[in-house]
Amino acid sequence: MPLCVQQVTTIYVDKDIVVVDKPSGLLSVPGKNPLNKDCLITRVQQQYADAQIVHRLDMDTSGVMVLARGKANLSALSRQFQERQIQKHYLAWVYGVLQEDAGEVNLPLRCDWPNRPKQMVDHELGKPSLTRFEVLSRKPELFQTRVLLKPVTGRSHQLRVHMAELGHPISGCEFYAHPMALAQAQRLQLHAWKLSLRHPSTGAMQTHAAPTIF
């Protein structure tokens, strides 16, 4: 895996949390292969040694992530994720022209074990998974639509699978896009734009955003 040369940018930091902008092409945590030790948490801990991973973004997904500083803050933030109190907004370009201005995809997901890390829809064994979407703009001449994605649940590859099942795979997605959608971009067109959370110490609501890149 090539080294990700883009830097991790700090968006916000205090004694309890660190919020960063993860570049595409960087793992959130170390991979199993010894060559894959370069990752977001390793880089952040070089500056903030007490930073700990609370959630992850796929390697190909860019955008905002929050890290906890210390065990107490890790527990508090993890609880918010588990109880679905964290609001997440993603931006994406998808293949095709969506006709609906807004909607939702409610399809249960589970791991496609023979083809890991891919996920699949399974109405018997899958875990409940819900994604809401809004159309931001359409480019019929490029056969693409820019959408705002709001996952209610946080399953692995949820946004990728749900949009593919809708018939509009995310452009540049190597796992779920057909050849025409894959060819629309050199990287996955998925960006974690905004993250809203309750500060683990003050209890105040905070919204942090990573600069939009597409």
What is the residue-level pLDDT of the chain in tens, covering all 214 positions?
Answer: 556 779 999 999 999 999 999 999 999 999 877 666 899 999 999 999 999 999 999 999 999 999 999 999 999 999 999 999 999 999 999 999 999 999 999 999 999 999 999 999 999 999 999 999 999 999 999 999 999 999 999 999 999 999 999 999 999 999 999 999 999 999 999 999 999 999 999 999 999 999 998 8
Asked if 168 and 108 sit in the same domain, the reply is yes
**If we measure between CA atoms, which residue out of 189, 21, 199, 212 comes closest to residue 96?**
189
Same domain, 111 and 170: yes
Phi, psi of 24 (to 5 degrees): -65, 145
Same domain, yes or no, for 102 and 152? yes
Residue 35: predicted pLDDT: 66
100 and 181 belong to one structural domain: yes
- Which domain CATH number covers 142? 3.30.2350.10
Confidence at residue 31, expressed as pLDDT on a 0 to 100 scale: 82
Same domain, 24 and 107: no
With CA atoms as reference, report the closest residue to 96 among 50, 164, 159, 44: 164
Token readout for 150 is 């709001």
Range of the domain at 149: 89-190
Q: Is 16 one of the annotated active-site residues of the chain? A: no
Active-site entry in 14, 16, 38, 58: 58
User: pTM to 2 decimals?
Assistant: 0.95
- Two tokens, residue 38: 């370069």
